[in-house]
Structure 1
Amino acid sequence: MSDYYKLKNNKFRFPLDKPSQYDGGKVLIERLIHLFKVKNRIELADLIGVTAGTLSTWTTRETVPHELLIRIHLATGVSMEYLCFGTGLSYGEDLFQVTPPKPQTQVQTEPDEAYKMPLLNMFDIENGKLRQIDKYRIDDNFFFINRISPRSEDFLLKSDGKHCFINANETTVTKGCYLFSINGSYQVGDLRQMPDGNIYFFDGDDKYPINADVTKIHGKVVSVLETV
Structure 2
Amino acid sequence: MTISQPEIKTFNYTGGKDFTTRLLTVTGASNLSKLAQLIGVPRTTIATSHRRDMIQHEIIVRICLVTEASLRYLTLDEGERFKKTEKSSIKTLLIEKRLNRNLETKGHIPLNLIPLEEYNLEESSTTVVEQKSSFFFVNTLETNTTLGKYLIDIDSSLSINHLYLLLDKNW
Normalised to the residue count of structure 2, the TM-score between the two structures is: 0.45
Higher share of residues assigned helix: 2
Larger C-alpha radius of gyration, 1 or 2?
1
Larger RCO (alpha carbons 8 Å, 6+ apart): 2
Normalised to the residue count of structure 1, the TM-score between the two structures is: 0.35
